Each structure stands twice: as structure tokens, then as C-alpha cells.
Amino acid sequence: MVKSLTSHRPLLAVGLKVAAIGLFTTMAAIIKATAEHVTAGEAVFFRSLFAIPIIVIWLMMRGELRHGLIAKNPMGHVWRGVLGTSAMGLTFTGLGMLPLPEVTAIGFATPIFTLILAAVFLGETIRLIRISAVIVGLAGVLVMIWPRLSGGVDTGDTATLGAILILIATIARAMVQIHIRQLVQTEHTAAIVFYFSITATGLSLLTLPFGWQVPNWTVLSMLVASGFIGGVAQILVTSSYRFAPASMLAPYDYASMLFAIIIGYVWFAELPTLVMLAGATLVIAGNGLVIWRESRLGVVRGKARPMIDPKGG
């Protein structure tokens, strides 16, 4: 097993992390571009299935494939699959209804909801700084989604539904994080990675009766590419945490907003609104408080998380 290296090559770590964020955002853009041609369940299938070969090769290179095949808690993996696949499906559905930057911004609220759920289900103590982070973060979420819920943005009911779906997906991803904190007590990270890809592929097939269709070659190639890109991005972000601590790399997650704005404008002619940017700033500020607090406490929970929480699930 490869030994963990931390803080030795920070520039390499940052480069890997930013490259991964760029690939994840590109993957989301591809899913958005195919949304009018295939259902979200079908997109989840391709995203999950074609990430499996990349993950298997990576585990083999790390000498962890054997660990990836051992499941001590099979039902734990099933529930992780159900939660993660639901989050991915909701996100993919929302991508077809909202601008890419807006989906990205709402997704920043995941750590805030994770804090809340950790207090409720795991009994973790939330002190003043974290309470402040939750308040600021939730205020940011409200600022972002309020125009959709109040009819302040003239885009119709589809955008309103999209905002609700992305918000639910964000809460589902927070539930995934809580579940993973319990799952890692008995399961190897490689097993969590491997079996999520397997279960997500299988669960997505349950949506087969609900509008699946044979995509044309262009759409098919894009869907296959989303799987490969997602798998490579997962590997890059995991590798980044070998060369620098999670607390140092966490702020670079917000580079996804820059990528989303650029790709959204070039590919979809989308521009973020000032209200959305204001809300995103509040959410980022709330997350910044959490990152600062955990850094002070020496909490480095994120080393395994990028492997086991691929974007969207």
C-alpha cells in the first residue's frame, strides 16, 4: 500500500486538485449538454459504468484492488449506493434545468448541511464558530434560491423545480458524508470506491422503464466521456491528498465556480446573476469558517473523501 505523503509537494498537490476540479466541472457540463437527449438515470448509468475501468486500473496500480473486493458491511455499501446515486441523479436532473454556475454555487452548501446532520445523527458538538458558519451558509443558500422560489427570475417553473432538486441533492450528498464517516470504521476506502461505482451502475438500471432511449453517436460518445473524465478526476483529486493536507487544499474546491462561469458562458451562453454570486459568497464564507476551525483543531478528514465522494454522488 502506498504511504501517504503530506505537505512535501504542495505545488503538485494544488495542480492535481485544480485539474480535478476542472475535469469534474467539464463532466457536469457534458451531462448538462446531454440532458435534452437522455434521462438523468441513463446519464448516471454511463457516468458510473465507464468510471469503473479507470477505478479498477487505479486500484491495481496502488495495490489496493484486493481491498476493493472485500465488503465487510454489504448493506452499508448498498445504503451508500442508494444515497449517492440519488444525489447524482438529482444533480444530473437539475443540470438540465439550471445554469451551470448556479448548480455549482448551490452545491457549495454540502459542508454546511454535513455539519447540521453530523450534530443530529452523530451527536457531534457544534460550537459558536460552527454555528456561525451554519447561519452564514444557510443565509447564502436562501439568497441563491429565493429568486427561484419567489418567482423573481422569469424563467418559469422548470428553473424553480431545478433549484429545489439541486438543494435536495446537496442535502443527500451531506447524508452521504455522514454515512461514509460510519462506513470507514469497518470498510477500506478502496472497497467504498469500488462498490459505489458498481451499485450506482446497477441502481441506475432501475430507471430503464422511465424514458431511456438509444442515443445517437455524438451523445453516446459524450456520455462515455463523462464516465472516463469522472474516473480520471477522482484519481487526480485523490492523488492531490497524498502531497498536501486536506485543510490546505479545501479552499481550491471553489475554483469550480470559476470553471463553471467560463464553461457556462462559452458552451451555454450562461452568465451568473449578482444575486447568485452574492449568495455563493456567503456560502463560501461559511465554509471558510469551517475550514479555518478544523485546521485549527488539526482535523484532516478529507484525505479519503475525494475517492469516496465523486462529484454528484
Q: What is the pLDDT of residues 22-40, one digit of tens each?
A: 999 999 999 999 999 999 9
pLDDT higher than 90, residue 206: yes
How far apart are the C-alpha atoms of 113 and 126, rounded to whole Å?
12
Least confident of 6-15, 167-176, 185-194: 6-15
Question: What radius of gyration, in Å, describes the C-alpha atoms of the chain?
Answer: 18
In the chain, where the domains are located: 10-308
pLDDT higher at 230 or 124: 230
Cα–Cα–Cα angle for 122, 308, 240, rounded to 5 degrees:
115
**Which pLDDT band, with edges at 50, 70 and 90, does 5 fall under?**
very low
Report the helix count and the strand count for the chain, using DSSP H and E. 15, 0
Angle at which helices 189-204 and 52-62 cross, to 10°:
170
Does pLDDT of 197 surpass 50? yes
pLDDT reported for residue 156: 55
pTM (2 d.p.)? 0.88
pLDDT score of 248: 74
What's the whole-number mean pLDDT along residues 140-169?
82
